[in-house]
Amino acid sequence: MSAIENDRFIGQQIKVYRRIRNLTQQRLADHLGISRSAIALYETGRRPIDSRELLYGLAEALQVSIGDLTGHREDKTNPSVAAFHTQVPRIEAAMMSAGHADDTAEPTPLEQLAADTQRALKFRMKNDYARLGGLLPNLLHDLYRHTVGGHEDQQTRAWEVLTRATFVTALATKGFGYTSLAWNAARASFEAARIVGDPSGLAAAEFARSQVLLSTPGTLGAALAYSADGADRLQGELRTPSQLELYGMLHLQAALTSAAVGKDPAPHLAEAVDTARRSGDGSAFELAFGPENVAVWQMSVANERRRAGDALTAARTVHPESIGIEDRKSRYFIELGRAHVMLKDYGAAMSALLRAEHVAPQQVRSRTIVRELVGHMMRTARRDLASGPLGQLAQRVGALPA
């Protein structure tokens, strides 16, 4: 069997679960409102699964999770992210015990925990999941312990810091498919912010809740409600430059979610563009909100709507070398590659994805969309391209077995 015949792509899983559910290609196509030939192209890998709307529709029709379609057993043993996965049971235990633990040792001092929380936020944006995973269990455990013991002012401070610690927990675990854990962490972040009356924390928690829901089939309407309604509800309370960053992030999230459900994202994008002119330096919850990040999100929204030309137009407004955050820079190049694949410009797509990998190898090698795009190019590009750098990239991102 050749390497191309033994590659990894979502269509393989679609075929497996379609047969388990005793569905013909035609019945699956009818459920989704597309042609039978389109299902055949997806199952053979001749067409990539490159939009949330399609992926979630397939998951619902086949009655499986997103992870069932995108995941592979080898992913959790990938050295770049394995250290994070091994810490998930301890993270879950810290969240469930909520400070009521058996150990009697003094918790880490609160201000050290605050500094560690800031480090955790930065680790996520740097895609340093090994250090993030090692930090989170004790961080959450000791912060919860401070909320149930000590003086009232210390408890208040602990809740403030916990808002951020559970926020980063939600986004990190969501990214690895631990949806229930991510949802519980996002809800805990909202509750902590509510206890102390922190509008920034409430906005960040609404962003996290919408992010988790956006990754879950059947909840896109709720994802839009949390982001769009959250922005409307909190608008009057988000006044400082730092708070406006979170208001802008809610509108970016609402724009992407609108695109995923087939609604017009333009009003939300316009509000984000305007907010970026008067917000802070991008440090709020380490989300890097600002004009360049807005442009990267515009690329994501355009690609979600399958408007590759619009994505490339947005890309031309960004100088990628000036993007200081690895996560944002790699996402810029991933979205650029995604647009070029839609236009069948595989040389430009490969160049963009290689640059993304150079910036943030861990993120790129663990992203399902990258694996899907690279695998698709391997099946459709020129033989000389597939056997050279593209084939090597396919090995690294897991589109081909090692």
- Please report, in tens digits, the pLDDT of each residue of the chain (402 residues total): 344 445 667 888 889 889 999 999 999 999 888 999 999 988 888 888 878 788 888 888 898 877 788 765 455 556 667 889 999 999 999 999 988 877 678 899 999 999 999 999 999 988 888 899 999 999 999 999 999 877 888 999 999 999 999 999 999 999 888 999 999 999 999 999 999 999 999 999 999 999 999 988 889 999 999 999 999 999 999 999 999 999 999 999 999 999 998 899 999 999 999 999 999 888 999 999 999 999 999 999 999 999 999 999 999 999 998 888 888 899 999 999 999 999 999 889 999 999 999 888 877 777 888 888 888 888 776 665 666 778 888 878 777 654
Residues 6+ apart with CB under 8 A from 358: none
Cβ atoms < 10 Å from Cβ of 282: 20
pTM of the model: 0.86
Give the model's pLDDT for residue 45.
Answer: 82
Closest CA to 176 of 265, 246, 82: 82
Evaluate whether 74 touches 400 at the Cβ level (below 8 Å). Answer: no
Q: Cα 139–209–281 angle (5° rounding)?
A: 70
C-alpha to C-alpha distance for 237 and 216, rounded to whole angstroms: 29
Evaluate whether 214 touches 261 at the Cβ level (below 8 Å). Answer: no
**Which residues of the chain form CATH 1.10.260.40?**
1-71
Evaluate whether 251 touches 271 at the Cβ level (below 8 Å). Answer: yes
| CATH class of the structural domain 1-71 | mainly alpha
Please say whether the dihedral angle defined by the alpha carbons of residues 364, 292, 349 and 356, taken in this order, is positive or negative.
negative
Give the model's pLDDT for residue 95.
Answer: 96
Evaluate whether 261 touches 287 at the Cβ level (below 8 Å). Answer: no
C-alpha to C-alpha distance for 283 and 324, rounded to whole angstroms: 12
Name the CA radius of gyration of the chain, rounded. Answer: 21
